[in-house]
Structure 1
């Protein structure tokens, strides 16, 4: 019975089904405290992050909770500072104190191989989220950011835009780098040159998008479209345009990335690349609570462009 409850891979399917039927007939409910004591682990999934994008973190939380809702597992969230010299010690203490069953690492700290190794050495199952392949399929959920951004930029060019601005994400984020490469790919695909004066950098927060928008819209020949590396910064660019009485979308088209609630709630509603955050988080949670079958869960997720009212062809 214990092997069935603990989802042991040593049982064949027929035996598993017979034991599950007996458990159902008896109405047996395992004692989570006793099981945690035997396993020397609590049934806790840790979500560890240092990510300024609050909407993204919330989406991940919701995806994990959807998956574990009818299980004995619970979620604990731990923000950290990746610049702190004590980050590794802080995370080690957190895992040991909570006796975590598994942890999900969000970018950018998910890109740290040494951190993932430390978690495993502590006997903790790890799943890493990223914008590119960081690990084997059993320990990874990733998206095709570079390809998705390339296609979004190429679509802006198809609308007729030739001066396309870009707001990059923060240095040190693999997602920011992948989206920057995707922008360059899309411009090349459209036969357009990237111009330094049409590029700005933000930190995934609204305020940095506001500053980037002010920078890009102050050049002598401002862009007719701007691609932003996330929705929060795109909302900042939209506000910067309004402050200068630039009409969106007639005078300026704006595209974001993530498809968070922000994208649909601002006006005009934002064209954006939908990042399948919830699906990625659900798959990650499934890998963590059932590591024996982790490799059978999806690992690579495709993003797609959601076209809304913030983009139109440029004025003649």
Structure 2
């Protein structure tokens, strides 16, 4: 029970926030009936307002209800090259659209807690962009389901209440595998991406679809997680088998670059003795020798598209329902890490 002595004279929005255990921005969103606040939190704020007899300052209220759009971006990706392209895309689109960004970064493999997510959303976000792999995190989506907040998930599949922005990973992997088959390779290695991303399974499915029905194909598999370190382990594993592959398809450029490093350490000629291909077409593909043949995934465009969708959804009287997936075009980039091979 609140006593008169516990009620500060001329209570401010900060007093309300402290009483409710939330941020001042969350209080502002409740006062102005904006989305992005859970029902439990809203009730706590309303109770604090009543207890403190708080009256909103009209000047501050006009500021909060201005047309400014604040977009949150959360990422936890092991590839610095991928994230460089991703962040460039969101920054450029934010500048073009005249919106503000707030970034939340976590170490690779880490997932934000419910408390961290709720504080972030409560800071006044108009929408949220999730970089892979967070778009498919069950823990993240369980929290987001409680909020009326537009969300886009880049590189993701079948995410409830979010618009997915991606390429056709299976088709892209099929085309790359077909390229290796056309060069005469029949001993193929494939390095899977992280098991917590649907794109990994789609790329593997495209690989298997391409080799299905082709006689004489021998396949060696290794598990990776899209990182350079996992590519080193996968390269050692694949090149240690009794009959090693003549070509290795890694599910990311970082892993492919690592495999090239392993091949060089073993004095294997790339591509004379071993062809290596990647996926993404990040800077990692062109900062090594030989430059990688890879799938071009337009990461910068994917990120910009995801941000643009959120900005559009944040406009007044616009539906916040998730839209059908937005699928952008990919392409095969042929460089110098692949070559034909004569089968014995």
TM interval, shorter chain, is 0.7 to 0.9
Cross-structure match for 1:302: 329
Whether 2:236 is the aligned partner of 1:211: answer no
In 2: Cα distance, 1:275 partner to 1:253 partner: 20
**Which structure 2 residues correspond to residues 50-65 of structure 1 after superposition, within 5 A?**
50-65=76-91
147, 166, 169: which is aligned to 2:190? 166
Q: Which whole-Å CA distance do the structure 1 matches of 2:118 and 2:323 have between them?
A: 29
Are 2:213 and 1:186 aligned? Answer: no
Name which one, 1 or 2, has greater alpha-carbon Rg: 2
Aligned equivalents of 1:210, 1:245: Cα separation in 2: 15
> Does residue 264 of the first structure (1) align with residue 290 of the second (2)?
no
Distance 1:152 1:85 in 2: 32
Partner of 1:130: 155
Determine the structure 1 residue equivalent to 2:181.
Answer: 157
**Do 2:250 and 2:279's aligned partners in 1 also have CA atoms closer than 8 Å?**
yes
**CA-to-aligned-CA distance 1:125-175 (integer Å, 9 cap, x gap):** 211112545468x82212100111011101100110000101111222212
Shifted more, 42-51 versus 218-227: the winner is: 42-51
C-alpha RMSD of matched pairs (Å): 2.7
Matches of 1:34 and 1:164 in 2, distance apart? 63
1:265 partner SS: coil
- SS of residue paired to 1:123: coil
238-247 or 295-304: bigger deviation: 295-304
CA distance 1:123–1:302, shift in 2 (3 Å): same
Q: Indicate whether 1:109 and 2:134 are aligned.
A: yes
Bigger mean CA deviation after superposition, 243-252 or 41-50 = 41-50
Which residue of structure 2 aligns with residue 121 of structure 1? Answer: 146
CA distance in 2 between partners of 1:34 and 1:70 (Å)? 27
For 1:153 and 1:116, locate their aligned partners in 2 and report how far apart those are by CA, in whole Å: 33
Q: Among 164, 188, 194, which residue is 1:140 paired with? A: 164
Are 1:287 and 2:309 an aligned pair? yes
Residue 89 of structure 1: aligned partner? 115
Normalised by the length of structure 1, the TM-score is 0.79
Q: Verify the 8 A CA contact 2:141 2:160 in the aligned structure 1.
A: no
In structure 2, do the counterparts of structure 1 residues 143 and 288 end up closer, same or farther at CA, with 3 Å as the change threshold?
same
Q: CA separation of 1:36/1:286 partners in 2, compared to 1, >3 Å: closer, same or farther?
A: farther
More helix by share: 1
Kept in 2: contact 1:119–1:125 (CA 8 A): no
Moved more, 118-127 or 294-303: 294-303
Report the equivalent of 2:296. 274
Deviations 1:261-292 (A, max 9, x none): 11012110100011111111111111111114
Kindly report structure 1 stretches of 4+ aligned residues shifted beyond 4 Å: 33-36, 81-86, 191-194, 293-298
Residues 114 and 85 of structure 1, relative CA distance in 2, 3 Å threshold: closer
- Unaligned runs of at least 5 residues, structure 1: 1-32
The counterpart of 1:249, out of the listed 263, 266, 271, is: 271
Structure 2: 5+ residue stretches without partners? 1-59
On the 8 A contact 1:287/1:293 being kept in 2, the answer is: no
SS for the counterpart of 1:311 is coil
- TM-score where L is the length of structure 2: 0.73
Q: Is the 1:133–1:142 Cα contact (8 Å) retained in structure 2?
A: no
Mean Cα deviation higher: 144-153 or 184-193: 184-193
Change (3 A) 1:293 1:287: farther
